Amino acid sequence: MTNDVFICYSPEDENVASDICNLLEDKGYSCWFKKRDLGEDDTVFAVSEAIRDSRSVILVYSKDAKNSNFVTTEIDIAFSDSIPILIFSIDDSTIEGKLQFYLKDKPKIDAYPDASDFYDELALDVSQLLGSSDKKSDNVNNAYICCCEEDELTGEAICHVLEENGIKCWIKKRDLKVSDTVEKVPEMIKNSQSFILVYSKDAVNSNYVGTEIEFAKSSEIPFLSFKIDDVEKPGDLKDVHWLDAYPNPEENFGNLVMDTSKLLGKPIDDPKITGNYDLKKVSEKPVDDTPAKVESEVEDNGSGGFMGNYGVSKKLIIAIIAVVAIAIVALAGSYFFFMSGGDVGYNIPEGFAENPEYSYQESDGSGMTVQKFYENNDTYGWFSVTMISFNSGPAGLSDEPGQTPKTINGISGKIKETDGVYTFTYTDNGKMVMVDSDDIKIIEEVVPK
């Protein structure tokens, strides 16, 4: 990452933010400070890129930050990308609304009435935060292997070859555990230094593969496509690096290792390939006699093999495998159900398109939240739809200050206006839905009739 710290603040708090920037840079930390580092020709996306290129975020919180849409958006991005956030509160303003959701349980320094009295404490907390972050580097993978179920044999072979050459991989078949939460897959994609796509006729029709590709593209991870079938390259992926490995993918494993290592900045010129993978027929499951081979090898062990030694019956093993498989399918189904918005219906007005930079999904112990952000580049109009599903029972509408009852297109809910942004909240299929926009007419178009 480029920066140690991204400093998030409202324009009214610029002086404090500048002091923090100078303090931390004097201590050897690199900071991104909007007033100084945002160029005149930069687009709004330069800010989101700076956040994602930072190891931590310091929020200068105040009554002005509380009412700033820019501050909320920046914290939204940091939260969705799991970037550590430290709150430096310079007055006694309470944290409310969306910020309350994003910032609960985040470390906080109450730095008032004189913020400068707490700068040393802030520097110490930043040091501890970044030290903790460095220790998490072991969770970073060199390569995420994306493959559909029909291509798992090829995916596992690729994983073996890359790891044989010192390239640490994450592959769903091996590494996704039953206890993992629904955000594990996007988390592992973002925590990987490269994305290896096993592309085939089956991958073309896989919704799972398509969703993982979108995650990788939005996270701007170096991309390599390993094509194992005679299928056309999709238009939106023609600019990524391709390896044509059809009809014998194993003959191209050496090139795959060399190209992946170049993506990682550590070229391997003489890859080690020791396995005999025999993947002549791509996009097919292993031949039927594979289980029989495995069984005979176990029985010839002389001691009864694993099942004989531990008194575990074959039927029990099969039952355990079935339970694990069902749990993984349910987990993946839940993950993709929520990423698509589930069964919540809403309209997308003409001219609007989703901006994945500001769309996200996350979950905690209470439930799952999915936000979809849309904008119209011609009119600069925008809206977002936030869908929240709770683990315990259907959603209900709570009373918040400033809300008033309102019915839109026959749907009863509540409307609230904050700093020029309207939020219409209602329930649909057991979920709480919030439609945000700075134009009430756009909300009326989005809410389904």
Q: What is the CATH number of the domain that holds 415?
A: 3.30.200
Within a domain: residue 230?
Answer: yes
Residue 195 has pLDDT above 80, yes or no: yes
pLDDT in tens, 237-275: 877 889 999 888 999 999 999 999 888 877 888 898 887
Residue 75 has pLDDT above 50, yes or no: yes
Q: Does residue 442 have a pLDDT over 90? A: yes
Q: What percent of the chain has pLDDT over 90?
A: 40
pLDDT reported for residue 407: 94
Do the domain assignments include residue 275? Answer: no
Q: Is residue 438 part of a domain?
A: yes
Q: Are residues 176 and 216 in the same domain?
A: yes
Q: Which burial class, exposed, middle or buried, applies to 138 when counting CB atoms under 10 A from its CB (0-12, 13-18, 19+)? A: exposed
- What total of structural domains would you count in the chain? 3
Omega before 107 within 30 of 0, i.e. cis: no
**For the segment 87-96, what is each residue's pLDDT rounded down to a tens digit?**
999 999 999 8
Amino acid found at 136: K
286 lies in some domain: no
- Within this chain, do residues 146 and 130 fall inside the same structural domain, yes or no? no
Q: Which domain holds residue 382?
A: 353-446
Please answer whether residues 445 and 347 qualify as being in contact, where contact means their C-beta atoms are separated by less than 8 angstroms: yes
How many Cβ atoms from other residues are within 10 Å of residue 99's Cβ? 21
Contact 186, 176 (CB under 8 A): no
Separation CA 424–CA 426 (nearest Å): 7
Q: How far is CA 128 from CA 124, 136, 437, in A?
A: 6, 13, 39
**209 and 184 part of one domain:** yes
Quick one: 126 and 150 in the same domain? no
Among 106, 121, 137, residue at a domain's last position: 137
Kindly state whether residue 327 falls inside one of the protein's structural domains: no
**Averaged confidence pLDDT in the chain:** 81
Give the tens place of pLDDT for each residue, 354-390. 988 778 777 655 677 888 899 988 888 899 998 888 7
pLDDT at 298: 35
Q: Output the domain CATH number for residue 232.
A: 3.40.50.10140
Tell me how far apart the alpha carbons of residues 43 and 151 are, in angstroms, rounded to a whole number: 40
CA-CA distance, 68 to 61, in Å (whole number)?
10
Q: What is the share, in percent, of the chain residues with pLDDT greater than 70?
A: 79
131 and 224 together in one domain? no
- Does residue 392 register a pLDDT over 70? no
Task: Look at residue 332 and tell me if it is in a domain.
Answer: no
325 within domain boundaries: no
- The DSSP annotation for 85-101 comes to EEEEE-S-PPP-HHHHH
Name the least confident of 43-47, 130-134, 341-345: 130-134
One domain, residues 66 and 184: no
Residues 248 and 225 grouped into a single domain: yes
Residues 71 and 153 in one domain: no
**Which of 73, 103, 137 marks a domain boundary?**
137
| Domain identity same for 11 and 119 | yes
d(Cα 141, Cα 163) in Å, to the nearest integer? 11
Q: Which of 26-30, 310-314, 327-331 has the lowest mean pLDDT?
A: 310-314
User: 54 and 124 share a domain?
Assistant: yes
Instruction: Find residue 60's DSSP bridge partners.
Output: 88
Count Cβ neighbours within 10 Å for each residue of 361-397 and write b for 16 or more, e otherwise: bbbeeeebbbbbbbbeeeeebbbbbbbbbeeeeebee
pLDDT at 117 over 90: yes
Question: Is residue 432, in this structure, part of any structural domain at all?
Answer: yes
Q: Are residues 115 and 185 in the same domain?
A: no
What does pTM read for this prediction? Answer: 0.38
The pLDDT assigned to 393 comes to 61
What confidence score (pLDDT) does residue 146 get?
Answer: 96
Select from 263, 284, 306 the last residue of a domain.
Answer: 263
10 and 45 share one domain: yes
